[in-house]
Amino acid sequence: MSRPDGLRYPAGSVRGSAGGSPTLPVMAAMVPTRTLNSGYEIPVLGLGTYPMNGAAGTAAMAQAISLGYRLLDTAALYGNERAVGEAIRRSGIGRPELFVTTKLRGGDHGREKTRAAVSGSLDRLGLDYLDLYLIHWPLPRLGLYVESYETMLELAAEGLIRSVGVSNFKPAHIAALVEATGVTPALDQIELSPALPRRETVAYLNGAGVVTQAWTPLGPGRQVLGSAAVAAIADARGVTPAQVILRWEVQQGIVTIPKSADAERQRANLDIFGFTLDDAEMASLATLDQGEGAAVDSDVHEEF
């Protein structure tokens, strides 16, 4: 069912009360979703898993699932897909209830390497399909991201990927994909926070029917979390600074994936659906904008 904030809430769900202590079943049920252009639903809040790894990482991720997280975001580059898979198995939650994202690393661009990379990720995760597969960085110098995207669409047709998307893609990169294939990516995961609201990119993605997802959603360092603007809202609302920022994102329809291994922070980050920021508060957070120039430039940045 839809609500005034534009998000889709599970039927019968109850919105939590930030700062309170909802029961775990409510925590699991209250996270709304957005519909991807593939027709699948993605929770608007999930768990970023980098750099969680090993036994401690597995325990932290299984703990998050027990608290109600259903979206897990990883990447081949993170080196923790096996730990994510073990956390899923340890959680006891049925596969259909979970939404698992992983990403194509830079060294695996190209048709055959992309196909092998998807197989490798599925093996490490111990899964039969991926809910969402992203090209991690466009790497335009290589000139292979269109070829990788075409291969991902083939793998989606084979049932190994449910939704195909990108990460760190600029509008021009997405336009090249659409021109070559006629298929618009389901989602673009970009660096985004009140310090980097990426307004022009988000407007383009909204117009193209591409869901925006934020990485580093709480901002770099302490410059956003520790800002006076965020602190004032948090104090007035009786919530944490992180809850203010995450609410700012989901209130705009942006999917967000904060990372934390701490149970209390995980619980608090999940509990942001019981309040709405007003226009004055949104305007106050807009003053934190550092401009597009502060973002990592994916025309030149490379990770392999």
Report the mean per-residue pLDDT for the chain.
93
Name the active-site residue from 9, 69, 78, 149: 78
The answer to whether residues 187 and 181 touch, using CB atoms and an 8 Å cutoff, is no
What is the per-residue pLDDT for 222?
A: 87
* 227-241 residue pLDDT tens: 999 999 999 999 999
Please identify which residue in the block is written with the tokens 């430039």.
297
What is the per-residue pLDDT for 11?
A: 55
The predicted model gives 214-234 an average pLDDT of: 95
pLDDT of residue 278 exceeding 60, the answer is yes
Q: Which residues contact 163 (CB under 8 A, 6 or more apart)?
A: 36, 38, 40, 42, 131, 132, 133, 156, 186, 187
d(CA 278, CA 299): 36
pLDDT of residue 14 exceeding 60, the answer is no
pTM of the model as a whole:
0.93
In 3D space, the residue among 286, 256, 213 whose CA is nearest the CA of residue 69 turns out to be: 256
In 3D space, the residue among 74, 62, 69 whose CA is nearest the CA of residue 189 turns out to be: 74
d(CA 50, CA 61): 11
pLDDT of residue 15 exceeding 60, the answer is no
The predicted model gives 87-98 an average pLDDT of: 97
The answer to whether residues 81 and 124 touch, using CB atoms and an 8 Å cutoff, is yes
Domain ranges of the chain: 31-288
* Residues in a beta bridge with 221: none
What is the per-residue pLDDT for 16?
A: 45
CATH architecture of 31-288: Alpha-Beta Barrel (3.20)
133 as an active site residue: the answer is: no
> Which two tokens mark 141?
């110098």
What is the per-residue pLDDT for 221?
A: 83
* 129-144 residue pLDDT tens: 999 999 999 999 999 9
pLDDT of residue 166 exceeding 90, the answer is yes
